[in-house]
Structure formats: C-alpha cells, structure tokens
Chain A
Amino acid sequence: MSTSVHETSSVKEYFAALINGITTTVHGMWITFRYVWGVKHVSIEYPEVREVLPERARMRLFNDVLNCISCTQCAMACPVDCIYIASEKKPEGAEIKKTSNGQPIRLTLTQFVIDTALCCYCGLCTTVCPTECLTHSHDYEFSQYTIDGMKYDYLAPDVIAWRDRIVKS
C-alpha cells in the first residue's frame, strides 16, 4: 500500500498516526452526525409529491395540428430524423384557414408522427417552427409496453384531446 507506516515507524510515529486517524475520522463523522437533526430534506417522495418543472423544461413533444402549416422545417432540423410529415394540396376553392399568428394554412396535413423512442429532446425542432405549434409539453411519464407505442400520431383524436391541457391561451 501507499505508506508502509507499520513497518518503519517508531512508537511515537505509530501513536501519532493512530491519533491522526481517530481525530480525522471523528471530525468527518461529526459532520455527518449533524445531519441527523434540523436539516431540511432535499429529496421528495416522488409518486405522491411532484416537482414543478421549470417553464422551459423539454419533455414529450406535442404538435397542435390545428396550427400546423406542414412546412416540414421541424423534420429537416431534427438531427435524429424522428418526425414524419405528409401533406397534400387543398382542392381549389377550399377555405384557407389561418393559424393563431396569422399564417395561412395552404396544405392539408395528412400525417404527423413523431417517434418518441428516437427523439433526443434537443429542442431544435421547436425553435424552427414558424407558428410555434410544435412545443415541448411537461409530460414525462409515458413509458409503453411496446416500442411501437412510443410513436405518436398527432392527428389521432385522443392525442388532439391533449390540446386543452397543454396549449395555453
């Protein structure tokens, strides 16, 4: 081992090392012992108590399809290519709706799927979105039994129903 105290030391050094060992250990134990009383807990009992996430927390993606103009910029920006979009041109004479920030929706969105199992939660897709319809929600409990369950079709009615909870205003 490091220093062979026990082989070469004199009696005086031996006791000095012993006392040093005891004092430093007691010193450290005293610091630990002070935590018995009066120190606030730093952990929380998770399933019952939940931490409030910060405003910018990046959890599961949510796309508000009513505001989406199918520009595919998010799919292009995605470094892991986990966003799949398909759209078709609206028939002539159809009513052109506008998004919440006034952009005309010229295309009909036919597919908007995100494979959350591939997603790396980097947030690049949300920063390029021109209508701010693609956002990170604060849902973090979405484990699934199969890997296919991680694929979210944002045009499905049950997923659209999240909108009331996630989209403010």
Chain B
Amino acid sequence: MQTHWDVGEPDAPTINKDTEQLKTELLRLNMGPQHPATHGVLRIEIWTDSEIVAHAIPHLGYLHRCMEKHSENLDFRGVIPFVDRLDYLASMSMEWTYAMTVEKMLGTEVPRRAELLRILTGELQRIGSHLMAFGTYALDLGAFSPFLYAFEEREKILRLFEEVSGARLLYNYIWIGGVWNDWTDDQLARVSTFCDTMEEEAKKYHDLVSMNKIFVERTANVGVLSIQDCFDYGATGPVLRGSGYKWDLRKNKPYSLYNEFDFDVPVGIGEVGQVGDCWNRYIVRMKEVIESIKIIRQVIDKLEPGPIMGKVPKIIKLPAGEVYVRAECPRGELGFHMVAQADAKTPYRLKVKSPCFTNVSLLPHIAPGQMIADFVATVGSIDIVLGEVDR
C-alpha cells in the first residue's frame, strides 16, 4: 500500500513557457500541521517550483476524534456536547442542525419562542464566527490589529452566550425540542445595543481592512473559483456566494422560521478584483454580518413570551429509518445523515457532511500556479475549522 510519505514525485507542470528550459526539480514543502495560517492542524504538502505551487496535497486527520463512532454509543441527548466540538467557532449552528435532525425524525413541534431564540442565537453565532474569520484572515495576511478589534466585539457575543447557557464556546444550549434557558428582557435589550454598535464597528472594519491597498493587493484576483468549480466540488456557503451564485438555504429552502424574515443574500459582485476571488469571499462574510444584524432586530420585535421546550419523551427512541437534514451554517451547508433503528436509544449511524471538508477538497484544484503567499491567502479565505474537517 502506498503510504502518505511516499506519494511519488508528481510531474512538474508547465507554468511558464518562457522559463521551461529553466525548469528544475520540484521542492517538497510541508505547510503545517503547526502552521499558524492553517487554522488548526491541517498539513498541506506543497510541491513548489521556485515560489510557485505546483501541487498541494492536504493531509487530514490530525484532529480526528472518531465523533461518528462515539455517537453510536451515546443517547440522543448525549451527542449534543460532541456535536458542539465539530465546529467550535459556531457550536450553536452545529447543535441546532443536530436538534433539527432528531426533531424531524421524532416529529416534535418546537414552540415559536424557542424557534425564534434559536434564530437569535444562530445569527449571533454567525456574526461571532464571521468576526473570527475576519480577524484571523487579516492575521494571516500580516495585519494584527483587526484581530483584536474583532475579538472585542466577539467577546460581547460570548458573554451573552455565557450568561444564557453557562459556557463560552461549547454551549449545549439548543436541545432536542427547544432551548435550555430563556433570555431575559435585559439580555435582549443588550442584544439590541450590540446590534447598534456592531453596525458601526462593521463600518470601521470596512475602513480598516477592506479597501486597504495592501489587503487588496494580497487578495484581489487571487484564488479565483468559478461557479462551476463550486458545484463540482460541492462547495457551499460564502465560498459559493463569493463566486457570485445567490444560494442560501435560509432563503431557497427555508427551515425553522426563516421564511418570515426579510433579509438579502449577499453575493460577490467584484467591486474589487474579479468575482470568485479571495476578496469577494471576504466581503461576502462582512456583508452577511450586516444581514444577520437585520434578522436579529426582527427576531427581537417578534419575540413574545411563551414556552421554550416542546414535548419530548424522557427517553428518546426514534422510528426506524433515515433522514438527511441540512442547514446553513457560517461556513456552508452542514448536513446530518441519521440512520436509526426501532427501539434503539442510540443513533445507528450519524454521518456529518461538514462544509469545511468539502471546501478543503477545493485546495488541490486552486493551488497549482499560485505563489506560496497567495496560497496562504486562499486557505484563509476558505475559512476552515479543522475540528469540523476531521471530526
């Protein structure tokens, strides 16, 4: 069997016809697993011709925790803490999708207030996750201070989540049938003020980074992905929207109560660079923050007192069968394929379709012909979380 350190040297591609005579042996370079720009423990084996990447081969599995195997031995409620740890920057979205999967099989009706609170937390989480993406992306490209500005705002979201659920990162807040705790009016008022400040802050980030000449030079026209590439590789979320395709499950296949809300789906239109490059993927995230703020304001208007937990049996047993549920998470479409057997207290099979896993598979496709520095910018713009890639 071939081993991963013995892939064999790939053929050198023809990068520039003028310099073909000067073509030399390819150099193998390991980026990661501890490279700061890989957002975790992703190891990418790069074959370079001088400074131009000829091949990039991602090696995954450094954070593999056998979550799918674990969940086969846990009851349906006990899976939620494990699901939290998939995408640890957007735990709310992860557990929300998981809860929707089990609720779909159970046929549980979730109370209206609980659904609205789920949307509230989900959108706050989306802002937090995109702030993290913004901060670390600027960090990858050498700007340190945007990271700190982003963390200042993200801290407010985490504080709210800590007050309402008890934890800052791994919440276990959205339960099967509803949510754990209710939000007080005081907390909701703080969310409103947060929305106001966040709008101003978003403008500030825009001034600070988006149009900065150095940032534009590093990201515009780099790592261009066409819509067809995204479809072929199954890329979703900001990567697909950055390529100019208006696709958002919240709009196109509304789940929860999203059809009651009025918001836009931002797409990359190529104000700078061309559609589908790193800059457009970045700006889609920043615009989504504004859209999320819009949704949060509507949620606060709609909230009315009521129950926050639906009727769920004490010991959950699902009917025999399978479902595939997908939802729009900050990094793309998350899907759960759940197979259950009758009278079993544990899932028979739980497959996680993680958006980052599919987005990572794009890297070998984009990389050839890029500079190493541009490749770092591309990896950052795809915004991966390794907890979700390796599961």
Contact = CB atoms under 8 A, between A and B. Distances in A.
Touching chains A and B, CB distance < 8 Å: yes
Interface of A: 1-3, 17, 20-21, 24-25, 27-28, 31-32, 42, 53-58, 77-79, 120-124, 127, 136
Contact of B81 (A1, A28, A124, A127): A124
B81 A122 contact: yes
B213 A123 contact: no
Contacts of B218: 1-2
Contacts of A127: 180
B217 A57 contact: no
B219 to A, nearest CB: 7
26 contacts: A1-B217, A1-B371, A2-B217, A2-B273, A3-B217, A3-B220, A21-B213, A25-B214, A28-B207, A28-B208, A42-B152, A53-B162, A56-B162, A56-B165, A57-B162, A57-B167, A77-B78, A78-B78, A79-B74, A79-B78, A79-B82, A122-B84, A123-B167, A124-B77, A124-B172, A136-B166
Interface string B205-243: 001110111100111111000000000000000000000
Given A25-B213, A79-B74, 5 more contacts: A31-B208, A58-B166, A122-B81, A123-B167, A123-B172
Contacts of A24: 211-213
B155 A25 contact: no
B220 A121 contact: no
B212 A2 contact: no
B318 interface: no
Nearest to B146: A28
Nearest to A30: B207
Nearest to A22: B213
B300 interface: no
Contact of A2 (B75, B163, B180, B220): B220
B210 to A, nearest CB: 9
B79 interface: yes
Contacts of A53: 162
Contacts of A27: 207, 212
B172 A122 contact: yes
B288 to A, nearest CB: 22
A2 B221 contact: yes
Contacts of A79: 74, 78-79, 81-82
Contacts of B82: 79
Interface in B26-83: 74-75, 77-82
Given A77-B77, A79-B81, A25 B163 contact: no
Nearest to B218: A2
Interface residues of B, number: 41
Contacts of B214: 21, 25
A58 B81 CA distance: 13
Contact of A54 (B155, B163, B172, B204): B163
Interface string B79-115: 1111010000000000000000000000000000000
Given A2-B218, A2-B221, A28-B207, A124 B78 contact: yes
A2 B207 contact: no
Contacts of A57: 162, 166-167
A20 B212 CA distance: 8
Nearest to B151: A42
A54 B371 contact: no
Given A58-B166, A123-B166, A124-B172, A31 B81 contact: no
B209 A28 contact: yes
B145 interface: yes
Given A25-B212, A123-B172, A54 B166 contact: yes
A53 to B, nearest CB: 8
Nearest to A54: B163
B257 to A, nearest CB: 26
Contacts of B180: 127
Contacts of A25: 212-214
B298 interface: no
A31 B143 CA distance: 14
A147 to B, nearest CB: 19
B388 interface: no
Contacts of B221: 2-3
Contacts of A77: 75, 77-78
A6 to B, nearest CB: 11
A24 B163 CA distance: 39
Given A1-B374, A79-B79, A120-B81, A56 B163 contact: yes
Interface string B118-158: 00000000000000000000000000010000001001000
